[in-house]
């Protein structure tokens, strides 16, 4: 397969060099693989740090900036960053108010962030951690024990990041992040497999004319394969899978997220069907975000994330944000 790269071994470094060239408001350490907002540490502010394997852009580095993350640690493609990266990020953003690690539930990420938290605390940095595990498709997978962390990561990072920006203490930022995760559920669908630079071809076999319901963001198997369905049929299946578990009692945030290879023309059409299903199920929509935010390289497909919100969470979601991939209110 054709890819716009030099060699697979330098894909992540090359991308970080490009990010550094475009975003002077960020400090990008290409060699040590850490992206930090340039004004960090902000006096009196809780530092918010996340990270994970590359290939899911703009997650996480694209969400570094005012009102969201203070730092991100990109690993190799579909591979967890190492503890040294996270310790370095925590030290760079710690103002003395502590640091929150936001961790997607993948075995490598969990182990390495836990180790990093211990190392950072040995160096005098107070660390709290929140696990994101919003995917209702499967309980265990190739990469996880328990549910996978997917689209809700954006909501957790945005809302917790806003709380930290407004000066909330570490215990409060942690509690808000946990509440967002507990109030969120996701379900993804793949129309094609993704291709990693190292492999140079599809990472799994998905026959022509079939789709994978409940796929993971690394191409992990979902619930089942079916013959290709219409956008409306997929929306019915995905939204019902989420609502069966979430059962919201109030308005929700909606993320219609592209997997990386699906154009906005299709995503907006799919969003219309998601809204139709929610309307038919009597679920009010507070806000909707559509686009490629938590991707799987070039996979064609989409995911739906719903997050039940109250006045406080909605206010924090609406709070100003300025990052490479998400910005409003400034």
User: Tens digits of per-residue pLDDT, 211-262?
Assistant: 999 999 998 888 999 999 999 999 999 999 999 999 999 999 999 999 999 9
Instruction: List all residues 6 or more positions away from 138 whose beta carbon is below 8 Å from its beta carbon.
Output: 147, 148, 214, 216, 220, 221, 222, 223
What CATH number does the domain located at 10-183+319-326 have? 3.40.50.10440
Please name which of 42, 137, 132 lies closest in space to residue 95, comparing C-alpha atoms: 42
Determine the average pLDDT of the residues in 257-274.
98
Half-sphere exposure of 2 (CA within 13 A, CB side): 0
Domain ranges of the chain: 10-183+319-326, 184-310
pLDDT value, residue 140: 74
Q: Say how far apart CA 146 and CA 133 lie, in whole Å.
A: 8
Catalytic residue among 23, 56, 60, 275: 56
Q: Tell me: pLDDT of 201 over 90.
A: no
Same CATH topology for 10-183+319-326 and 184-310? no
Catalytic residue among 23, 60, 218, 275: 218
Which two tokens mark 258? 């592209």
Q: Is the pTM of this model over 0.95?
A: yes
Strand 285-291 vs strand 252-258: parallel, antiparallel, or unpaired? parallel
Please name which of 320, 274, 25, 30 lies closest in space to residue 151, comparing C-alpha atoms: 274
Sign of CA dihedral 207, 212, 218, 223: negative
Please name which of 234, 187, 232, 238 lies closest in space to residue 210, comparing C-alpha atoms: 234
Q: Please identify, in words, the CATH class of the domain defined by 184-310.
A: alpha beta
Task: Assess whether 275 carries a catalytic annotation.
Answer: no
Task: Assess whether 56 carries a catalytic annotation.
Answer: yes
């Amino acid at each position: 397969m054709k890819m716009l790269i030099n060699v697979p071994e330098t894909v992540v470094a090359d991308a970080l060099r490009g990010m550094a060239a475009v975003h002077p408001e960020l400090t990008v350490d290409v060699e040590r693989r850490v992206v930090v907002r340039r004004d960090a540490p902000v006096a009196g502010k809780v530092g918010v740090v996340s990270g994970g394997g590359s290939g899911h852009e703009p997650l996480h580095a694209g969400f570094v900036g005012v009102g969201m993350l203070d730092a991100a640690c990109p690993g190799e493609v579909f591979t967890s960053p190492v503890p040294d990266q996270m310790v370095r990020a925590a030290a760079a953003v710690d103002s003395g108010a502590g640091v929150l690690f936001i961790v997607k539930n993948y075995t490598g990420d969990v182990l390495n962030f836990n180790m990093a938290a211990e190392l950072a605390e040995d160096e005098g940095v107070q660390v709290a951690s929140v696990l994101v595990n919003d995917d209702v498709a499967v309980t265990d997978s190739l990469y996880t024990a328990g549910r996978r962390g997917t689209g809700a990561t954006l909501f957790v990072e945005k809302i917790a990041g806003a709380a930290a920006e407004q000066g909330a203490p570490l215990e409060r930022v942690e509690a808000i992040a946990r509440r967002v995760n507990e109030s969120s559920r996701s379900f993804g669908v793949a129309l094609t497999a993704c291709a990693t630079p190292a492999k140079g071809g599809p990472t799994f076999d998905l026959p022509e004319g079939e789709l994978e319901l409940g796929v993971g963001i690394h191409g992990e198997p979902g619930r089942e394969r079916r013959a290709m369905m219409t956008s409306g049929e997929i929306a019915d299946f995905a939204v019902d899978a989420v609502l069966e578990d979430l059962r919201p009692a109030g308005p929700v945030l909606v993320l219609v997220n592209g997997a990386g290879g699906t154009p906005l023309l299709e995503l907006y059409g799919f969003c219309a069907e998601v809204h139709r299903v929610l309307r038919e199920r009597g679920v009010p929509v507070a806000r909707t975000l559509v686009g490629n935010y938590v991707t799987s390289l070039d996979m064609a497909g989409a995911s739906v994330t719903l997050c039940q919100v109250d006045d406080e969470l909605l206010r924090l979601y609406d709070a100003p944000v300025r990052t490479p991939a998400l910005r409003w209110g400034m």
